[in-house]
Amino acid sequence: MTIPLNGAARCGHHALVTAISMPLAMPAMGGEASADSQLVARLREGDRAAVEEAYLAHHAAIRGFARRLVGDAAAAEDIVHEAFVALPRAIRRFRGDGSLRAFLIGVAANHSRRHVRSAMRRRRATERLAAHEDLQPRTVDATDQLITKQLAGKLWAALDDLPIDQRVVFVLCEAEQRTSVEVAEIVGAPEGTVRTRLYHAKRKLREKLEEMP
Amino acid sequence: MNFDAMIDAIRAEDGNDAELAAATHLRLRRSLETRARSRHQLAGLVTAIAILLVGTVSWALATGKVTTLWGPAPRLHSVAPEAVPRSAPARKQVAAASRPPLPPESVTPPAAEPPPAEPPPAEPPAAEPPAVVPPAVEPAAVEPTPPAAPPSPARVAPVLPPAAPEPPASLAQVEELYRRAHELHFHGGEPAVTLAAWDAYLAAEPNGRFSVEARYNRALLLIRLERYAAARAALAPFARGEVEPAGYRQTEAEQLVERLARYE
């Protein structure tokens, strides 16, 4: 099963179906679900090797989500680490009706609150330092990277003013292009709540970005 | 400002960083090992405490100390022997059933020292008052001390009864007397001094809240002081179930009386 990429099925309204906007995390396939259930059974038994297996299988998706959420590599690594350390205890809440990866993203989102704040402080400090640096990219690629970095930096700065729940929903819906069903499963909230959070998040972001120079 | 371009910029962030992934993997492994080690240490500690607790309780049950320390609390009022019904079978059985059965070897009271090979000189029974009578009446000096034996430390400090009946003590004073006797009895007090403390308490409150317990403890101290006849006399009402609550330490008292009879 794949996620339909039409706008109605996704929780966002602005995503374009382009090569870059392909879903970044696919739902579990049949074989993967079977492997998941075996892994989950071992995790429930407290098997330490199972935690490492889960890490090797899902760390990239969790790290990607964490980075998009906090905009800071160090904070994102902390979130990944905490999510997997908490997994043996958190797995008791896993009902098995979704994928392990989605569940892990939910665990990471739960552990992201304080890291979002620390990343925000670090970003503001870095912005002040960067204002005094001579940033003259020498190549096109470097210029492109710089622009991407600047745009992302502006969005993260605007996201810093959102409540964590709206921030998580925005990242999952818009940056990761997940369906509202998936996002509802990850954040443990009804679909309607997810849509409401996304609506408010977008509205606030637009207002905030318009105020920015 | 292009909103979609910003979202694309965030979307470009991915989690495919091999070096960071390896570093976090190592960090995760260490965290899991530390947690497992902590859990094992905790489990070991809990096991050790459980073993210690079980061992202590077993030892206390085997030696009878648990019944001395955790025996049923006496009632507020001690009733004179004649007022106590001779038999209260149901309550006796309940009280007896609530205690673990003790082997004959375990009837020695906790504070009692091993009985000597040679029985001490017999004490004239007439000199011993009934145990339930306030101990102030019992003159310790009446008991003959073996002349050949050197005076033991317990006998160095003579237990002198009050010269005259004391005026009724205030509640605070009585409590203080009890507290002191209890402290001495259960925290290594000199037997003779402890006996004197119990006597002082019983003189102040012969039928008080803790009188039965005090009399029983006093009887145990008499055994420690090798005054077996006096101890036997003091334990007799307990052995017969003639104290209130009925059956208070009755089984132990019966066994102690039986053993003490051998040394008279």
Band of residue B197 on the pLDDT scale cut at 50, 70, 90: very high
pLDDT the model gives residue B146: 47
Residue A173 to residues A59, A116, A202, B87, B194: CA-CA distances in angstroms?
Answer: 20, 18, 11, 84, 81
What gap in Å lies between CA A62 and CA B123, rounded to an integer?
89
Band of residue B220 on the pLDDT scale cut at 50, 70, 90: confident
- Model pTM score: 0.51
Quick one: CA dihedral B60, B61, B65, B69, positive or negative?
A: positive
Residue type, A134: D
Choose among B217, B209, B220, B218: nearest CA to B244. Answer: B209
Q: Which residue of A has its CA nearest to B2?
A: A151
Q: Which of B20, B25, B35 sits opposite A73 (nearest CB)?
A: B20
pLDDT the model gives residue A133: 52
The reply to whether omega before B245 is within 30° of 0 (cis) is yes
Choose among A128, A131, A210, A183: nearest CA to A11. Answer: A183
Q: Are A148 and B14 in contact (CB under 8 A)?
A: no
Count of alpha carbons within 13 Å of B249, Cβ hemisphere only? 30
Q: Are B237 and B131 in contact (CB under 8 A)?
A: yes
Question: Greater confidence, B77 or A148?
Answer: A148
- How close is the nearest chain B Cα to the Cα of A18, in Å? 11
Choose among B187, B133, B12, B31: nearest CA to A152. Answer: B12
DSSP class per residue in A194-206: HHHHHHHHHHHHH
Q: What is the mean pLDDT of residues B109-134?
A: 44
State whether residue B70 is helix, strand or coil.
helix
Q: Are A160 and A120 in contact (CB under 8 A)?
A: yes
Residues of chain A with pLDDT under 50: 1-9, 13-29, 134-135
* Close Cβ partners of A10 (under 8 Å, ≥ 6 residues apart): A3, A4, A173, A177, A178, A179, A180
* Close Cβ partners of B102 (under 8 Å, ≥ 6 residues apart): B64, B67, B251, B252, B255
> What is the C-alpha end-to-end distance of chain B, expressed in Å?
110
Q: Which of B9, B14, B23 sits opposite A64 (nearest CB)?
A: B14
What gap in Å lies between CA B254 and CA B247, rounded to an integer?
11
pLDDT the model gives residue B264: 60
Does A209 sit within 8 Å of B3, measured CB to CB? yes
What gap in Å lies between CA B107 and CA B264, rounded to an integer?
17
Does B8 sit within 8 Å of A20, measured CB to CB? yes
> What is the C-alpha end-to-end distance of chain A, expressed in Å?
44
Does B29 sit within 8 Å of A77, measured CB to CB? no
Q: Could you give phi then psi for residue A6, rounded to 5 degrees?
A: -75, 155
Q: Are B74 and B249 in contact (CB under 8 A)?
A: no
* Close Cβ partners of B17 (under 8 Å, ≥ 6 residues apart): A63, A73
pLDDT the model gives residue A178: 94
User: Among B121-125, B219-223, B225-229, which stretch is predicted with the lowest mean pLDDT?
Assistant: B121-125
DSSP class per residue in A9-73: TBS-SS---SSTTS-SSPPP-HHHHHHHHHHHHHHHTT-HHHHHHHHHHHHHHHHHHHHHHH--H
Band of residue B16 on the pLDDT scale cut at 50, 70, 90: confident
Interval B241-260: pLDDT, tens: 888 887 888 888 888 888 77
Residue type, A99: S
Residues of chain A found within 8 Å of residue B31, distances taken between Cβ atoms: 81, 85
What gap in Å lies between CA A11 and CA A169, rounded to an integer?
9
Band of residue B23 on the pLDDT scale cut at 50, 70, 90: very high
What gap in Å lies between CA B208 and CA B225, rounded to an integer?
25
